[in-house]
Structure 1
Amino acid sequence: MEPSEDTSAVSPVTPPPGCPLHSNAVPLYGEALAEDDTERWERLRKRFGGLAPVKVEPEVAAWLILGYEEHRQILRDPHLFTHDGRISRELLEGRLRPEHGTYPLVNYRPNALHNDGAEHQRLRTALVDSFEKLTSTRVRAAIEDLANDLIDAFAADGKADLIGQYATWIPLLTLNRMFGQEDRHGYFLCELMVKLWNGEGAEAGAADQAMVEYLTRLISDKRRRPGPDITSWLIAHPAELSDEEVTQQILLLIAAAHDPTTHLIGNTLRLLLTNMDLRFSLAASVIQIEEALDVTLWQDPPFKTLIGRYATRDTTVAGYQIRRGDMLIPGFAAGNNDPILRDADGNPPHAQRPVSRAHLSWGLGPHSCPARGIAYQIAATSIATVSARLPDIQLAVDPGELRRRPSPSINGLVELPVTFAPQQPLARPHRAEPAPPAPPAPPAPTETVERPRTIGGIWDRVSGAVRAWFGV
């Protein structure tokens, strides 16, 4: 599929009168986010059925997938519903423009997420093969080490924010080690992500540039001095990825490890701190941590929605006429709570035993998450470590006071304040000094590395509109 022409200068096109998508579209942004998520999904389900027309920007419409079976139909058919946004009708007709927060999610990138067919298989295989070379023992040891570093930093305080001081850091620190980098680079990477999302103007731009330089330097170094790590394996893979493609796969992994895994950890910790039956079942080994994670993935998944799919030709879904190029947005939270999934006694999937893994939270079909194994391991080991270190941990506020990020996409807590009995840091001979309290910058390169012309940052630009979509 050839890229479309540049649409940045195209004047917005008003959709034709009577368009079934645009004429009935319900806002999924702004003041609409004040409504309880569950109530919103059920209201839309009652009104529209398994597919609902929504607006993700004032001018930009899409179909939100609500039904479990509709998710199975759409996500499993890459021939009829592509992940390549270059055919998006909203983009081609000028309603979706670069200044919109959802534009970077639609804009094409040469990674496994934005391709289908043979190209998708080539890029995905490189990722999967690289992950398979990681041993579970190596990954678990890294997570435990990093988790203990983070806990040691606040253990004596008797209180902590398990989002800002713990869950936010572990996924990227772990991934950084798997990239073949030292921990000081991992802290630097985490700090860059914070600045990318929370910074304004020049600060965010500088962080975006620093991310590009970090990745450029990483790939250049690994081409010269390969090691037993994901970066080197991607470079050496028979798929023969270019530097741009290696960069984009790593950016994809960073994006996937940051918010989704952070909030899988955070949402599961919240569940265990507020559901005593589940917490006691876990303590008594009635269930395993992986089952608790699946309960979270059913009822409180890190992603509520995720743009997107695009119809490759006119078709029909849930009784609606879908036009070629229409955007379809998986609604994982709504699909997981579809009433058709309740058992004969009316129990939802997350209340049934054993807990099924048939939830939608990892996606379905060719684009299902290739890193789900390491994500489970990061989340499970992180939760097990903090539970073992702080067995008397409890919420520091009433559960009703916990604040959610105001996002139509990310489902996570702003913070998770807890208290516990203060304790001293662990005595670990291999760790002569505690982890750095602030992330230092990586050392300057020993030689000048030319930045490839096509490499971009996390997004084409990090704007307030993008951050608003993700609730940061």
Structure 2
Amino acid sequence: MNDQTPPEPSGGRCPVAHGDGATRLYGPEASTDPHGIYARLRKEHGTVAPVLLEGDVPAWLVLGYRENRRVLDNPLQFSRDSRIWRDFAEGRVEPTSPLMQMVGWRPDCVSQDGEPHRRLRGAVTDNIYAVAGRGIRRHATHFANKLIDAFAVSGRADLVEDFAEYLPMLVLTRVFGLAEREGRSLAESSSLVLKGGADALTHNDRIMAILGELAARKRDEPGSDFTTGLIEHQAGLDEDEIVNHLRLVLITAHTMTSNVLARVLQMVLTDTSWLSGLVSGQLTLASVVEEVMWNQPPLTVLPGRFATADLELGGCPVKEGDLLVLGLAAGNHDPEIRPDPEVSVQGNASHLAFSAGPHECPAQNIGQAIIETAVDVLIHRLPGLRLAVPPAELTSTASTWESKLDHLPVEFAV
């Protein structure tokens, strides 16, 4: 990586976030070619660009790797607390906006900074570490085999729809103490919350209702699960804090793990050198995951940070209360740190996929364990596993926040 500070963009213009000419991060073009939008914005504006989110809500999109790190590493300048968001405080964003499911304030650790954040994050991380030692790989093996059993005799499958889309949530139902039957519908609701649109609020309410019932049941019937751990933690979380942290971990862990698993499977099936390296033991799955994290991070854009004062970022005049969204995919492809994106990044874990700073994702080991187990089970259960269509036919659909592989059709021996 190049350690020199990148020059300010020359020839670009950087209007204020509320000015005319901002690019929409939603709509037809954004759903099919988000990277094309990032490249155009970088050319026009440099490392920070004015954009419009769903409902034409203005924000700054941070495109540069170093600028992303500055925002993520400095909560005193860039707070996660949306109660200082000027557009919402002044009534330009309605409480019912689909954006609120992603950027609105909640009584959870990602919505707060300082001591409140440390208290709540401690409860989450303590229980994640405890759960990680209680059979994550065993649960992943059980559910991976169960999903494979449903299509193994056919010789064909779609590894997105039939496998990656649901496996992480099924594991999480076991971790949380939920009934397995909730897994598929919770996975679908989580995806629709991330997708945004008119249904986001409905599906978020559904998730909250299920988790509220779970928390009430676990107060009466405690167990060795993540939910009970939050309830009994010494941080003394109240009912709203417990349910909102269950929501946070459920949606985030499922979404990130599902997306990465699909992309890892895509990589090993479209490039035979990756698959043969895994089968022969010459390549570790961690190396494949690392490559995916750089090139196709599970969240392409991370919501959101709010400027605590007037300041300059990437040559742009960010005002107090402005919303910033973090371009994780754009930052990972910043030509200032990756002048040749075709060069492998194996051994370099400094990608932005897990965020960074005080709010860095604490559940990385759980996701890694599920992915490693899932790929291992698939390779050993399905002899002759191969892609059923040319790689060029694989497509993705993006929302503001993520880019999901649509399908991954495969064939295998029966």
* TM, length-normalised to structure 1: 0.79
- The aligned residue for residue 12 of structure 2 is none
- Cα–Cα, structure 1 residues 19 and 216, in superposed 2: closer, same or farther, change >3 Å? closer
Does residue 1:383 correspond to 2:375, yes or no? Answer: yes
Tell me how far 1:244 sits from its aligned partner.
1.2
Q: Equivalents in 2 of 1:349, 1:96: separation in Å?
A: 41
Partner of 1:258: 254
Encode CA deviations 1:376-418: one digit per residue, 9 max, x unaligned.
1112211121122113112222222222123232111122211
- Measure, in 2, the Cα distance between the counterparts of 1:314 and 1:200: 31
- Listed one character per residue, the Cα deviations across residues 231-270 of structure 1 (whole Å, up to 9, x for unaligned) are 1111110110011111000001111123221111001111
Shift of 1:184: 3.5
Confirm whether residue 406 of structure 1 aligns to residue 402 of structure 2.
no
Q: Could you report, residue by residue, the CA deviation over 1:150-190 in whole angstroms, capped at 9, with x for unpaired residues?
A: 00111001111111111111111111111123433445644
- 1:95 — aligned with what? 92
1:320 and 2:307 aligned? no
Q: Which amino acid aligns with 1:307?
A: P
Aligned residues of 1:299 and 1:350 also touching (Cα < 8 A): no
Judging changes above 3 Å, is the alpha-carbon distance between structure 1 residues 212 and 19 closer, same or farther for their aligned structure 2 residues? closer
Question: Residues 17 and 59 of structure 2 are in contact (CA less than 8 Å); yes or no, is this contact kept in structure 1?
Answer: no
Report the Cα offset of residue 200 of structure 1.
11
**Aligned equivalent of 1:425:** none
Paired position in structure 2 for 1:6: none
Paired amino acid for 1:228: S
* Bigger Cα displacement from structure 2, 292-301 vs 390-399: 390-399
What is the DSSP-based 3-state SS (H/G/I as helix, E as strand, rest coil) of the residue aligned with 2:372? Answer: helix
Please, what TM-score do these two structures have when normalized by structure 2? 0.89
- Indicate which of 322, 341, 344 corresponds to 1:351: 344
CA contact (8 A) 1:307 1:330 kept: yes
Alpha-carbon spacing, 1:31–1:222, altered in 2? closer, same or farther (3 Å): closer
CA distance, structure 2, for counterparts of residue 137 and residue 349 of structure 1: 39
Contact 2:87–2:93 (Cα < 8 Å) also in 1: yes
Q: 1:418 pairs with 388, 396, 410, which one?
A: 410
Tell me: CA distance 1:107–1:392, structure 2 relative to 1, closer, same or farther (3 Å): same
Equivalence for 1:371: 363
What is the CA deviation profile of residues 5-58 of structure 1, one whole-angstrom value per residue up to 9, with x for unaligned ones?
Answer: xxxxxxxxxxxxx74652342222213326633332222112211111111135
Secondary structure of the 1:86 match is helix
Contact map agreement 2:61 2:326 (CA 8 A) in 1: yes
Letter of the 2:330 counterpart: A
Max Rg structure: 1
Which stretch shifts more, 135-144 or 328-337?
Answer: 135-144
Secondary structure at the residue paired with 2:397?
A: coil
Residue of structure 2 aligned with 1:299, choices 284, 295, 300: 295
Aligned to 1:166: 163
The correspondence of residues 54-453 of structure 1 with structure 2, limited to 5 A, is 54-57=51-54, 59-136=56-133, 138-187=135-184, 189-190=186-187, 193=190, 205=202, 211-342=207-338, 347-348=340-341, 351-352=344-345, 354-422=346-414
Gaps in structure 2 of 5+ consecutive residues:
1-14
8 Å CA contact 1:75, 1:363 repeated in 2:
yes
Confirm or deny: 8 A CA contact 2:68 2:331 kept in the other structure: yes
- Amino acid aligned to 1:86: R
The Cα shift of 1:329 comes to 0.7
Separation in structure 1 between the aligned mates of residue 138 and residue 259 of structure 2, nearest angstrom? 21
Please give the alpha-carbon distance, in whole angstroms, between the structure 2 residues aligned to 1:374 and 1:341: 29
- Residue in 2 that maps onto 1:52: 49
Structure 1 distance, partners of 2:324, 2:209, is: 34
1:319 Cα deviation from its structure 2 partner: 1.5
* Paired residue secondary structure (1:134): helix
Whole-Å separation in 1 of the counterparts to 2:325 and 2:204:
27
User: Structure 2: which amino acid aligns with 1:277?
Assistant: S
Distance 1:135 1:319, change over 3 A: closer
- 2-side partners of 1:24 and 1:39: how far apart? 17
Contact 2:32 2:396 in 1 (8 A): no
Task: Give, in whole Å, the separation in 2 of the partners of 1:332 and 1:204.
Answer: 25
Runs (5+) with no aligned partner, structure 1: 1-17, 423-472
Closer, same or farther in 2 for the Cα pair 1:340/1:211, shift >3 Å? closer
Alignment-derived partner of residue 6 in structure 2: none
CA distance in 2, matches of 1:192, 1:315: 38
Partner of 2:10: none
Quickly say closer, same or farther: Cα 1:381–1:115, change in 2 above 3 A: same
Map of 1:27 onto structure 2: 24
Is this contact kept in 2: 1:177–1:186, CA < 8 A?
no
Letter in 2 for 1:178: V
Give the 3-state SS of the residue equivalent to 1:341 in structure 2.
Answer: coil
Q: Report sequence identity in percent.
A: 35
CA RMSD of aligned residues (A): 2.6
Distance 1:203 1:137, change over 3 A: closer
Letter in 2 for 1:373: N
Name the CA shift for 1:287/1:136 in 2 (closer, same or farther; >3 Å): farther
1:349·1:355 contact (CA, 8 Å) conserved in 2?
no
